[in-house]
Chains A and B, each alone.
Chain A
């Protein structure tokens, strides 16, 4: 398996634009997580899905952020409209399931909003 795949690796956008980050979890994994990493706040959990259903989105900063998981092999994190303070590295991770919760991370998307 190629591991968790995220795209794009880097994104530079202007303030006010819509940004969509994509994630393909490891095949067969049941849970998917979106994290944001900044110098000030470290690694923060934004949202996680179990069997494609959002379980906890309490970490989503505000209504400008939304996440979907239309099927077991794909998830998106959307920011609309983007702001400079959204600049960070966004990671996606997946785990096999409840009996084995070892998490595997993608390489991240570095987002810069200017």
Chain B
């Protein structure tokens, strides 16, 4: 089945810093999503981005489907950005697979 990798596994930032999270996948996909799991365990949709670039406030994402990767950018990080960021891909309806996540800690 399709493999999803995320890097880095852990990231510690000072408040106000910028960061880039990466997601690599092993096969072509028709859906890619980024989620934020907050400290209460809730999975929050950030982006539905099978290709191209999207922006939402301080967050933006880019997926280059032909090269099988996606990037999530966080600018001017805040302590509320802390949590785990997951990338998940849909391999044309065969499965919806999550990566292992990037654990982000933003320090005040």
A63 an interface residue at 8 Å Cβ cutoff?
A: no
Number of interface residues of B (CB under 8 A): 20
Could you tell me the distance in whole angstroms from the C-beta of A56 to the nearest C-beta in chain B?
A: 7
B15 an interface residue at 8 Å Cβ cutoff?
A: no
Determine which of B45, B90, B93, B97 lies in contact with A104 in the assembled complex, contact meaning CB atoms within 8 Å. B45
Q: A101-B31, A102-B31, A102-B33 are in contact. Are A108 and B41 (CB under 8 A)?
A: yes
List of A residues within 8 angstroms of B100 by Cβ: 42
A103 an interface residue at 8 Å Cβ cutoff?
A: yes
Q: Which residues of A contact B (CB under 8 A)?
A: 33, 35, 42-43, 45, 48, 56, 89, 91, 93, 98, 101-105, 107-108, 110
Q: Can you spell out 15 A-B residue pairs with CB atoms less than 8 angstroms apart?
A: A33-B96, A42-B100, A43-B88, A45-B97, A93-B96, A98-B93, A101-B30, A101-B93, A101-B96, A102-B45, A103-B45, A103-B96, A104-B45, A105-B35, A108-B42
